[in-house]
Structure 1
Amino acid sequence: MELKKIDKDFSVCKIKDLSQVNLKDEFYFIGRTDEELSLVCETGSAPAGTLEREDGWKAFRIQGVLDFSLIGILSKISGILADNQIGIFVVSTYNTDYVLVKEGNFEQALRILEKEGYEIAD
């Protein structure tokens, strides 16, 4: 399975409303529940007025379109990284999953996954 590095810096934010989010950006993920409104975006596009914000994330995506019938893909990746004490933050789209890792652990995470048989694409 191929993993593609995304050459951008990301932030994970808790925001009050969507008015400061640039919906024309190439990458952003918005999640809303009854308890919060979250935003994952490129660090340079993070709104100034976030309620909480954590910078320093890097990301890779699982290449290709993942059929909903596929089971355990994300579980295996997260398990490998958890076994190596590397935390992740995941967002999913209709087609695939995006795995964010803190910048200080990112290259190590990719090396570990490559050692486990994953192909890493730039």
Structure 2
Amino acid sequence: MELRLLSREYSVCRLPAGSTPPAPPPTAELYGVTVTAEEVSVVCAAGDEPSEARVEGGWSALRVAGELDFSLVGILSSLTAPLAEAGVSVLALSTFDTDYLLVRTADLRRASKALEARGHVITGG
């Protein structure tokens, strides 16, 4: 599977439950908002964090290249299993078209080696 490394560094942010989700900046390459009864989570490029959020910075993002059909099974498993074996923590985001994996930038080299050892190809950056 081909993965494309996005060029920016990312942050994972937490806002209190009931917060109004912030709008993405117009130039966002990746911007995710998840609203639950317990919290509002935002994944955004470093520097675009909501000012009132708890922020965990230092993440790199890998995008599964192409569009994935909903009938496909095991995509995330084929990516997260080698990362788990390598001791790399991952945050997965799925969209209508594809999946994204965020790994700590400090772990990116180890993550890349683990994925490439399983036959995945990483491009970009």
TM-score (norm 1): 0.92
**Structure 1 match to 2:112:** 110
Letter in 1 for 2:20: L
Is 1:49 matched up with 2:52? yes
**Paired residues, what number?**
121
Residue of structure 2 aligned with 1:59, choices 33, 58, 61? 61
**Structure 1 match to 2:36:** 33
Identity percentage over the alignment? 36
**Structure 2 match to 1:79:** 81
> Separation in 1 of the partners of 2:81 and 2:35?
26
Give the C-alpha shift of residue 105 in structure 1.
Answer: 0.4
Secondary structure of residue in 1 paired with 2:78: helix
Q: When you count helix as a share of all residues, which structure comes out higher?
A: 1
Gaps of 5+ in 2: none
Secondary structure of residue in 1 paired with 2:47: helix
Is the Cα–Cα contact under 8 Å of residues 21 and 47 in structure 1 kept in the other structure? no
Give the C-alpha shift of residue 53 in structure 1.
Answer: 1.3
Cα displacement string for residues 71-103 of structure 1 (whole angstroms, at most 9, x for unaligned residues): 001012111100111110011110000000001
Q: Which runs of 4+ in 1 moved over 6 A?
A: none
Give the C-alpha shift of residue 20 in structure 1.
Answer: 4.7
> Separation in 2 of the partners of 1:62 and 1:22?
21
Give the C-alpha shift of residue 15 in structure 1.
Answer: 1.6
Alignment RMSD (CA, Å): 1.4
Secondary structure of residue in 2 paired with 1:18: coil
Is the Cα–Cα contact under 8 Å of residues 10 and 57 in structure 2 kept in the other structure? yes
Q: 1:88 to 1:24 in 2, by over 3 A?
A: same
Secondary structure of residue in 1 paired with 2:111: helix
